[in-house]
Amino acid sequence: MSRGYFPKRTELELTPLFSGLITATHILHHHSLLTTTGSISVRNPDRRETFFLADDDDDDESIAPALLSFTSSLLEYLVDSGAPVEQKTAADETAGAVNERYIHSELYKRFPHVNAVVFSPCADVLPFGLVPSSSSSAAAAAVALRPATAAAAFIGAEAPVWDIGGAYSSSDAHALRVSTAKLGHSLALKFARPETSGRFLMDRMTSVLGAGGGKEGVAEFPEHPVVVMRGMGFAAAGRGVEDVVYMAVKTREAAVAQMRALAVGAACWGGTVEGKVNVEGGGVIKNGKVKREGEVRYLDAKEVRDSAELRSGEVAKAWRAWCREVEVNPLYRNDVEQESAT
């Protein structure tokens, strides 16, 4: 699949890449990461200034992710502009904005070593974009998406939150859609902002996954491979299709585990409010602070770094299992190989 192309080319034809992209779409749907919306794309290994993305135009011919089965449903787009390569009319340049293609094009443009991108409207991740994560407030920091398991260590200290509200221009429709290159560029910048241990983690991942080389590879890959998007879901950027699918699935699992842990902690321990009580003011607590017991235990910085070494083998093993799951499910059809043979 994409490992036949990234980081080292071993395949001559693109048929396995197209087949793998469709399988990846089915896997993401199977794991509730793509519904009737959301998308996954892959960079063209023969023409790195373009990428492939399933057609999701707002017309009668659009294909839901679960029903994608033919190469003809995959369109090629330009990284530089986000426009279709086979542009028949001037209107084609702005058509299909509903598929959020600027999320993909701007990430490929900003990070040369990114070869696959996922945008997911996952309901399990959405809550983590509704409360600010970068805040001095202890309550806000408590709900940032953070890794609690080794499989989610790629998240780093916490997943940044991108708020589209601060990126709109005066002419944009405030519809929570990345429908312009400017909005996509703003999102891509959020992937690049460093956090504690971020560069070291990416350096280890580069070495383990065998992609890129040295500091150059780190500089050309996101400091954060996953960014939560306020009111929209999340986006993930990887070095290949298997890699980005793995991160997307594990991001959802991390979100579910964290929400359950927070709920269990609140039920078991709760919290107390400390401060001075103003008796004359009706018992209002001045300068009150919430003291919590039994906080959720997340990975520390060393656990985040060392867990990166485990990821390479896990990606391949998980990919094989997920491929089999969708292969035996009658909902999903992948007719690329048969289509190529005729």
* Chain segment 137-185, per-residue pLDDT in tens: 444 455 799 999 999 999 999 999 999 999 999 888 899 999 999 999 9
Return the number of other C-beta atoms located less than 10 Å from residue 73's C-beta. 18
9 — pLDDT class (breaks 50, 70, 90): confident
What is the C-alpha to C-alpha distance for residues 256 and 237, in angstroms, rounded to an integer?
Answer: 21
**What per-residue confidence (pLDDT) applies to 208?**
45
Q: Between residues 296 and 241, which one has the greater pLDDT?
A: 241
* Tokens, residue 104: 């993909």
Return the minimum-mean-pLDDT range out of 105-119, 192-206, 247-261, 277-291.
192-206
pLDDT value for 207: 41
Nearest to 193, CA basis, from 155, 164, 222, 230: 222
Q: CA separation (Å) from 329 to 217, 326, 332?
A: 38, 5, 6
Residue 307, pLDDT above cutoff 90: no
CB atoms closer than 10 angstroms to residue 156 = 26
Domain containing 142 — which CATH number? 3.40.225.10
User: Which pLDDT value is given to residue 203?
Assistant: 45
For the cut 90, the answer to whether the pLDDT of residue 268 exceeds it is no
Predicted local confidence at residue 295, as pLDDT:
76
Which residue type, as a one-letter code, is found at position 178? V
pTM exceeds 0.85, yes or no? no
- Domain of 51, in residue numbers: 2-341
Least confident of 173-182, 221-230, 281-290: 281-290
pLDDT band at 24 (very low <50, low <70, confident <90, very high): very high
Count: domains in the chain: 1
Identify the pLDDT of residue 10. 77
**Residue 268 CB contacts under 8 Å (≥ 6 apart), including other chains:** 294
Q: Exposed e or buried b for every residue in 176-200, given b needs 16+ CB within 10 A?
A: ebbbbbebbbbbbebbbeeeebbee
Strands in 116-120's sheet, in edge-to-edge order, are 74-78, 50-54, 39-43, 116-120, 233-238, 226-229, 161-162
Tell me the average pLDDT of the chain: 81
| Separation of alpha carbons 159 and 323, rounded Å | 27
